[in-house]
Structure 1
Amino acid sequence: MGRIVRGEHPPGTPLPPEPALCETFAVSRTVVREAVKVLQEKGLVQVRQGSGTTVTAPALWNMLDEQVLAASIAQDESMAILDDLVVTRRLLESDMANVAARLATPEVVGQLRTLVDRMDELVDDHVTYAEHDRAFHDVIMQSSGNRIARGVVRALESQVVNTARYMGHPERAMCVASNRGHRRIYERIAAHDPGGAAEAMFTHITEAWLVRRSAPGDPVRLER
């Protein structure tokens, strides 16, 4: 998989024949066939009788597969994959914030306020702050009732939440700025302002990523 993602086997080219793969990886033909089957299930190759196994274009890869996503992120020096992840996350979470602002009960509003107030106290404890940060977003996602969108966001974030490329190097100022965004989201949800909550979430996710993002160049994917 790593060789395909790195471009050592470009899209449209055939994989080496079974004997060559067996020799390269020092495995049996059975293992090679099982590996090719897995690659096919993940969308990285296409197997056709009589014409062998061909590498597919990246557009056909299953980017929700944890191994494909992790390998793609590891090889992406431009951080375009992470930019796309952030764009997807802010789209889904903005919509969920919109719904949460309409549906939030007093209990949910109280939970959000407690988390925001607590995060103000945790700006010097990056690990515990991050745990409360995730809890804040999850309360909003659960409040929206959109289990599919929540599942997608959680699946994507689970692959990157502990990586330095996505999380950056947290500092006190970063946590302070991040929680200002959380408070704006909380205030709009507490006011039952769907449009304001969605905009606050969109802005917060975008700004927080731009602070953490370390790749050179203009992240055009983040433009509206």
Structure 2
Amino acid sequence: MMAAPDKFSFPPRRRAERLSVAVVSELVELIVTGQLAENELLPPEGPLSEHFGVSRTVIRESVKRLEEKGLLIVTQGRGTQVARSGSWNMLDPLVLSALIDNDESLGILDELTIVRGNLESAMAGAMAARRTEEELTRIEHALQVMRETRHESDSFRQADVVFHLTVMELSRNHLAENIAKRLYLHALESTRFHGMGYENAFQSTLDEHSAVVDAIARQDVAAAEQSMRHHIVTSWQRRRFEPARRQQPES
């Protein structure tokens, strides 16, 4: 039997691959922000190569990756076209992060809240329907940690995240868990998602989480769904700030 090597050695990354990552990242941002509009044709390889200071090989690799993310459509004889936003893979980490980071209107976070609220309410209901005593103990413990850290902002936020991830896991709905977790964890990286502080934030958050746990304990599916959806939507509405409106030029 061969002995395992002390240290695994990754093959060296090609320079073209590193350059492609940078080009892809910039093109994603240009598309997400509308600087490259939907249905617009991408410039030819030559001008793109000159603009980014990379070879045509790097441009071709970058276009291929954007096509895989649903942002570009390559058509024989027509060229490369920016796809409609409905075709983008918005669960792709790079695309989702760019959408959230450039969300000046907060529209994408509003939509994310609705989708997340529906998914997590369904998972809370699923947990209520078939939770075991051991699983109930786990979610009660997650709530108790929130209570114990309510005077420590960072610890409380972390405990809040653990509570939601625990409900997702114990729902046993792996598809919903995967989608909701991606949306939630990426949103947490945005200061816009955390929003403004508001009066009695800790207590109202605890009260709403307690309502979820109480419904799960009673195995009341409808109440668990309603409580979770209410918490996610209303807590976002409380901390959501009104985006600054751009001043109109004087006529």
TM-score of the superposition, structure 1-length normalised? 0.91
Q: Is the 8 A contact 2:101 2:190 kept in 1?
A: no
Q: How does 1:162-181 map to 2 (within 5 A)?
A: 162-170=189-197, 173-181=200-208
Higher relative contact order (CA 8 A, sep 6+): 1
Q: Deviation per CA, 1:154-208, whole angstroms, max 9, x where unpaired? A: 1112212122111225567312211110001011111111111111111011111
**Alignment partner, residue 120 of structure 2:** 93
Q: Is the 8 A contact 2:198 2:239 kept in 1?
A: no
Ranges in structure 2 where 5+ consecutive residues have no aligned partner: 1-27, 245-251
Q: Aligned pair 1:73/2:86, yes or no?
A: no
* Matches of 1:128 and 1:33, distance apart in 2: 46
Identity across aligned pairs (percent)? 36
1:121 Cα deviation from its structure 2 partner: 2.3
**Could you say what secondary structure the match of 2:36 adopts?**
coil
Q: Is the 8 A contact 1:123 1:172 kept in 2?
A: no
**Alignment partner, residue 222 of structure 2:** 195
Amino acid at match of 1:155: R
Which of the pair has more CA radius of gyration? 2
**Could you say what secondary structure the match of 2:35 adopts?**
coil
- Number of equivalences: 217
Q: Aligned pair 1:45/2:55, yes or no?
A: no
Q: Is the 8 A contact 1:22 1:29 kept in 2?
A: yes
Q: Deviation per CA, 1:96-141, whole angstroms, max 9, x where unpaired? A: 1111111111122222222222212212212111221122122222
Q: Is the 8 A contact 1:126 1:171 kept in 2?
A: no
1:154 alignment partner, one of 177, 181, 187: 181
Q: Which moved more, 1:135-144 or 1:91-100?
A: 135-144
Amino acid at match of 2:94: Q
* Matches of 2:195 and 2:243, distance apart in 1: 14
1:57 alignment partner, one of 84, 90, 93: 84
* Matches of 1:157 and 1:113, distance apart in 2: 21
Q: Is the 8 A contact 1:4 1:55 kept in 2?
A: yes
1:62 Cα deviation from its structure 2 partner: 0.8
**Alignment partner, residue 220 of structure 1:** none
